[in-house]
């Protein structure tokens, strides 16, 4: 079986006020986390042999996300990869490391490169000082520029610059300036995520009743259109709602998620989905360590056991995020389910979707209403004979 492998690094120097990813503040205990991961890989190996019968798990992508993976040294990743090579058929084509600009060091970057990391996803967030201050990031614009220069100087060309848009104070002009500056570095891949105010974050408390956030959905839609036009005119393909790339530079690992392919997640908080089961490790370091070291068991809990309908819903939800859309004959042949013809006609007639051969895709207009359209399609799933 071919799998994507995700490794979660749950450490950050300081928690950003909008962030709802699992991470803890402070100096990471690299050695302790390494011991835990090696144990988890070992236990997973035993478990997978009992489940799949043989050593047949082939890792085709490796993605280290966080948290802040660039807080951990090449030595740490060396030991992890050494173990992965022993346990899996580990020959990923794409090895991505997420990095924060202010944490990068040239000697570590060389080390990551030597280990095989061939893609860096850099958390730029904004090319405006005002934006970085609003988001309370620890880096400045000059740190981003230095980080990109260092990444390039070690020969890593496959670079993604990751942004947040829709922050308070960002106007059309600022956004266009940020886009122009980003393209000066010719990144093959860019991500643009709308600033979302998640419950439980500092921003949620701060902006709960703020009129700016109540009125911002139309503004964010405008910004999304500006980003789309700007980048597509300059040779980037808008291949997923929030992601843009030159041809052949799409993130292979993330494509696995969107295409409902299996992936394994290692580390505290990591999520996996193999076959019909989605499982997750605890978002709590002490529970994660306790399961591995004291209870000698894998720390995950099953969080979802997909029925046929759940599966098709997920395939529709994720698949319609991509410009390639979903394949209707696959749904019919694999699951015996389809989408009512009248519903497809209506969506196409209103310009929200289009049919290309057997593929249903959302248009740009449709993407802006992705969740609503998906909910409508879900209501129109039917059994086919």
Least Å distance between CB 23 and ligand SF4? 5
Q: Pick the closer one to ligand SF4 by CB: 4 or 65.
A: 65
Nearer to ligand SF4, 68 or 242 (CB): 68
Q: Which residues bind ligand SF4 (CB under 6 A)?
A: 12, 15-16, 19, 21, 23, 66-68, 100, 123
Q: Which is nearer to ligand SF4, 193 or 376 (CB)?
A: 193
Q: Which residues are 123's β-sheet partners?
A: 162
- Which element (helix H / strand E) includes 147? helix 141-153
What is the closest distance, in whole angstroms, from the C-beta atom of residue 281 to ligand SF4 in the complex?
Answer: 16
**Cα–Cα distance between 178 and 163 in angstroms, integer?**
10
Judged by beta carbon, residue 70 or residue 353, the one nearer ligand SF4 is 70
**Closest distance between ligand SF4 and the C-beta of residue 21, in Å?**
5
Nearer Cβ to ligand SF4 (101/188): 101
Closest-CA residue to 3 (of 373, 331, 337, 266): 266
Which is closer to ligand SF4, CB of 103 or CB of 118?
103
What strands lie across the sheet with 2-9, from one edge to the other?
237-240, 243-245, 189-194, 159-165, 119-125, 89-99, 58-66, 2-9, 263-266, 271-274, 277-280, 301-305
CB 232 to ligand SF4: min, Å: 27
> How far is the C-alpha of 258 from the C-alpha of 273, rounded, in Å?
12
Name the minimum Å distance from CB 193 to ligand SF4: 11
**Least Cβ distance, residue 19 to ligand SF4 (angstroms):** 3
2: left (phi over 0), alpha (psi -120 to 50) or beta: beta
Euclidean distance between the first and final Cα of the chain, in Å? 29
Q: Enumerate the β-bridge partners of residue 259.
A: none
Q: What angle do CA 328, 329, 332 make, to 5 degrees?
A: 90
């Amino acid at each position: 079986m071919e799998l994507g492998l995700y490794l979660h690094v749950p450490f950050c120097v300081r928690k950003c006020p909008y962030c709802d990813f699992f991470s803890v503040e402070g100096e990471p205990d690299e050695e302790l986390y390494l011991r835990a991961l090696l144990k988890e890989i070992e236990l997973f190996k035993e478990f997978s042999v009992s489940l799949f019968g043989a050593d047949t798990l082939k890792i085709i992508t490796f993605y280290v996300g966080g948290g802040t993976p660039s807080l951990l040294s090449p030595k740490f990743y060396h030991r992890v990869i050494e173990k992965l090579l022993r346990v899996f058929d580990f020959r990923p084509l794409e090895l991505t490391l997420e990095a924060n600009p202010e944490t990068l060091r040239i000697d570590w970057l060389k080390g990551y490169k030597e280990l095989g990391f061939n893609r860096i996803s850099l958390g730029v967030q904004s090319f405006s000082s005002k934006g970085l201050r609003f988001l309370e990031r620890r880096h400045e614009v000059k740190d981003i520029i230095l980080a990109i220069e260092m990444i390039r100087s070690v020969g890593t060309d496959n670079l993604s610059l990751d942004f947040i848009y829709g922050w308070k104070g960002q106007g059309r002009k600022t956004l266009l300036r940020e886009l122009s500056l980003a393209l000066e570095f010719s990144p093959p891949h860019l991500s643009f995520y709308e600033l979302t105010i998640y419950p439980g974050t500092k921003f949620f408390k701060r902006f709960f009743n703020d009129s700016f956030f109540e009125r911002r959905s139309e503004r964010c839609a405008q910004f999304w259109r500006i980003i789309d036009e700007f980048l597509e005119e300059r040779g980037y393909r808008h291949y997923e709602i929030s992601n843009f790339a030159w041809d052949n530079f799409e993130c292979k690992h993330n494509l696995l998620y969107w295409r409902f392919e299996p992936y394994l997640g290692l580390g505290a908080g990591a999520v996996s989905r193999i076959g019909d089961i989605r499982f997750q490790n605890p978002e709590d370091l002490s529970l994660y360590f306790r399961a591995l070291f004291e209870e000698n068991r894998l720390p995950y809990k099953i969080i979802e056991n997909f029925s046929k309908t759940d599966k098709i819903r997920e395939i529709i939800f994720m698949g319609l995020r991509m410009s390639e859309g979903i394949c209707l004959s696959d749904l019919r042949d694999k699951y015996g389910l389809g989408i009512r013809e009248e519903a497809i006609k209506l969506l196409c007639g209103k310009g929200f979707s289009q049919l290309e051969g057997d593929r249903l895709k959302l248009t740009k207009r449709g993407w802006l209403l992705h969740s609503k359209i998906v909910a409508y399609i879900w209501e129109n799933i039917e059994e086919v004979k």
